[in-house]
Chains A and B, each alone.
Chain A
């Protein structure tokens, strides 16, 4: 493809946003890739050859029924495929950030490591976190329609192991904690006016690992695979700093597993620093939806809307 010819026909993009795992596939991911002339099956074959990834039985139902790790690997494959397609069309897209486990595709997108290295990091992170949690059963839930202070009051009342691990926007939060405590909290906030609560199909306590010494296997894996700096500006969703050295990238991979993130602050950082047209580079439209309740003038285009530009 001739980059110069295509760029003028396509929307300007200031930043690329990578969604986390557990997203709902819309079906437009495959349409986008087909219109781009991209064969994701080849990426699936590469993933199957070097990891525990199992190819979905059909593309139509991709993401519908698979376990937590498989869902994460599948989301990564799609995000990388969509990234490959987008990178063919733009000479540079200055900004990049990620939501939660979207970090692995963001690092692939910015040339920090190979596709295979990202798979290795995902598997290592998952297994390390599952081992670190011990025998405790964790659950994650999204609470929509209540302000942070209201949820915090309920958390204090619920007691036990429970944290807000992400602020999507001023009316949407993700909590993580022991299963029974999360269930109790979800009931309490529903009775107190939450518009929507969703217990997520996840059990790994990402963003809530209290003892970071237990993440040593992940640290070792980072030392092995992270060797390059990004070729565009990557902002951490943990602390909204720029990941511009190999050491900072490694630290962020660890922090992103262990500590709470804040999507609202991360996105606002991009808006303040000059971005206002973004591409959601992965399956689903979770970041487009989260953006609906963040103040500012911006657009987030995903596979669905972007497909209209590909004829």
Chain B
């Protein structure tokens, strides 16, 4: 799958997931939407999204590695979440 296709795929997953979990209209979500402040989400959502991505792309990465990466690279907006997911797919266990 080409890079742009992966991004489109991840964007679709993230948008649909957040709209469903946070019970908001998908049209109201943009890349600048803040997951915690605007969608009233919590850190469980990040874990759920990561589990979804791990299953879909059969990734070899621990939640601990992602958690450590996120200490330095916070993903507060939807756009940043998408970037995070792509970085995880590309680097897997080597992301830290």
Are B43's CB and A144's CB within 8 A? yes
How close is B32's CB to chain A, nearest CB, in angstroms? 23
Q: A147-B62, A293-B51 are in contact. Are A194 and B44 (CB under 8 A)?
A: no
Interface of A is mostly: loop
The residues of B that contact A191 with a CB separation of less than 8 Å are 71
The residue of chain A having its C-beta at the shortest distance from the C-beta of B51 within the complex is A293
The reply to whether the CB of A50 lies closer than 8 angstroms to some CB of chain B is no
**CB < 8 Å neighbour of B64 from A150, A289, A293:** A150
The residues of B that contact A194 with a CB separation of less than 8 Å are 64, 67
The residue of chain B having its C-beta at the shortest distance from the C-beta of A292 within the complex is B48
Interface centre among A191, A193, A196 (most CB of B within 10 A): A193
Are A193's CB and B47's CB within 8 A? no
The reply to whether the CB of A146 lies closer than 8 angstroms to some CB of chain B is yes
A86 to B3, CA, bound (A): 51
The reply to whether the CB of B66 lies closer than 8 angstroms to some CB of chain A is yes
The reply to whether the CB of B12 lies closer than 8 angstroms to some CB of chain A is no
A136 to B62, CA, bound (A): 36
Residues 267-305 of chain A, each 1 if its beta carbon lies under 8 Å from chain B, else 0:
000000000000000000000010011000000000000
The reply to whether the CB of B63 lies closer than 8 angstroms to some CB of chain A is yes
Residues 242-280 of chain A, each 1 if its beta carbon lies under 8 Å from chain B, else 0:
000000000000000000000000000000000000000
Q: How many interface residues does A have (CB within 8 Å)? A: 15
A171 to B62, CA, bound (A): 11
Are A196's CB and B42's CB within 8 A? yes
**CB < 8 Å neighbour of B63 from A195, A289, A292:** A195
**CB < 8 Å neighbour of B47 from A145, A147, A192:** A145
How close is A287's CB to chain B, nearest CB, in angstroms? 13
Q: Which of B43-62 contact A (CB under 8 A)?
A: 43-44, 46-48, 51, 62
**CB < 8 Å neighbour of B43 from A146, A150, A195:** A195
A192 to B68, CA, bound (A): 6
The residues of A that contact B64 with a CB separation of less than 8 Å are 145-147, 150, 192-194
The residues of A that contact B42 with a CB separation of less than 8 Å are 196
Are A145's CB and B43's CB within 8 A? yes
Q: Which of A173-195 contact B (CB under 8 A)?
A: 191-195
Are A171's CB and B68's CB within 8 A? no
How close is B55's CB to chain A, nearest CB, in angstroms? 11
How close is A86's CB to chain B, nearest CB, in angstroms? 24
Are A196's CB and B68's CB within 8 A? no
Q: A195-B46, A196-B42, A196-B44 are in contact. Are A145 and B67 (CB under 8 A)?
A: yes
The residues of B that contact A293 with a CB separation of less than 8 Å are 47-48, 51
The residues of B that contact A171 with a CB separation of less than 8 Å are 47, 63
Residues 43-54 of chain A, each 1 if its beta carbon lies under 8 Å from chain B, else 0:
000000000000
A3 to B70, CA, bound (A): 52
The residue of chain B having its C-beta at the shortest distance from the C-beta of A193 within the complex is B67
The reply to whether the CB of B65 lies closer than 8 angstroms to some CB of chain A is yes
How close is A211's CB to chain B, nearest CB, in angstroms? 35
**CB < 8 Å neighbour of A193 from B43, B44, B51, B71:** B71
Complex A-B: 23 CB contacts under 8 Å: A144-B43, A144-B44, A145-B43, A145-B47, A145-B67, A146-B64, A146-B67, A147-B62, A147-B64, A150-B64, A171-B63, A191-B71, A193-B64, A193-B66, A193-B67, A194-B67, A195-B63, A195-B67, A196-B42, A196-B44, A289-B44, A292-B44, A292-B48
